[in-house]
A = this chain, B = another copy of it.
Amino acid sequence: MKFDKNTKILIVGLGLIGGSYAEALSEKGFSVKAIDSRKEAIDYALEKGIISRGAAEPDKNLIEEAELIVFALYPHVFIDWMEKYSHFITPGTLVTDVTGVKCSIVYRVQDMLPEGVEFIASHPMAGREVYGVENSTCSIFRGANFVVTPTERNTPEAIELCEELGKTLGFAHVSRLSPEAHDDMIGFLSQLTHCIAVALMTSCDAPGMELYTGDSFRDLTRIARINEDMWTELFMLNKEPLIRHTDLFIGELTKLRNALKDGDTEEMKRMMRLSTERRARFDKPSV
């Protein structure tokens, strides 16, 4: 299969991310179709011109004619959908996703697909604190990372095509990780940070505090406004790495707390120097 402007693309799940895919691809001249159970989402996307056709149910024809299908659903909805409708997908079709966890999804979906259909998983590391196709914008992909997570069952062609998809969507950096390395990394970089933001918000409620806050607290808790259904599901599907990283973090914070308690300023400064040195690596490349 070739990936060019004639590729028949179907997006299943037209929420914030599915909608942003549709916008990015249609802006680049691709013809995108979509399935979403919310009829308003389909109507909105048709009206905005970010899809050329759509259906509010798993339309057999749309699925059969697709050459590349992107699933942008909650993990359990994705698995349910596969159980019910994956037999509609025709051999030669390439399937990818946007799911934020990989080990618990990738191997299972690869086992479910009909002969001749390949699933190459990927994770567009972008988002907003709002939901739905109505808030979609492909600007969230700019400067962001796109990770492809192949298994040994994937072909080099599918991996390359998926990387090409990430570049076409406008991601600044496209890379490859095993599902295991992905889940470990995401447990630290994304899931633990969300847990921290939530725990920070629930741990104190002095009235009027918002009048005294600086940017550091605002930045740190931006993600404390959280979709509880989606994130609870993602956390549960990545329990082991997330608990491990949380314990490591609590250990370091306790070390800093104890150094403060004991007046061990040398240890406090050592941790701050290490932190400063490591953080320098994470500056966003100017784009």
Q: Which residues of A contact B (CB under 8 A)?
A: 125-127, 144-145, 147, 173, 175, 177, 182, 184-186, 188-190, 192-206, 209-226, 228-229, 231-232, 235-236, 239, 242-243, 245-257, 260-261, 263, 265, 268-269, 271-276, 278-284
Contact = CB atoms under 8 A, between A and B. Distances in A.
B272 A226 contact: yes
Report the copy number of this chain in the oligomer: 2
B253 A257 contact: no
Contacts of A209: 185, 188-189
A84 to B, nearest CB: 24
Given A196-B196, A275-B225, A243 B257 contact: yes
Contacts of A192: 200
Q: Interface SS of chain A: helix, strand, loop or mixed?
A: helix
Contact of A127 (B214, B255, B281): B214
13 contacts: A127-B214, A184-B206, A188-B209, A189-B209, A189-B217, A199-B253, A203-B249, A205-B278, A216-B222, A228-B273, A235-B260, A243-B257, A250-B250
Given A147-B212, A217-B282, A247-B257, 6 more contacts: A189-B216, A199-B271, A219-B222, A222-B279, A224-B276, A232-B272
A16 B255 CA distance: 30
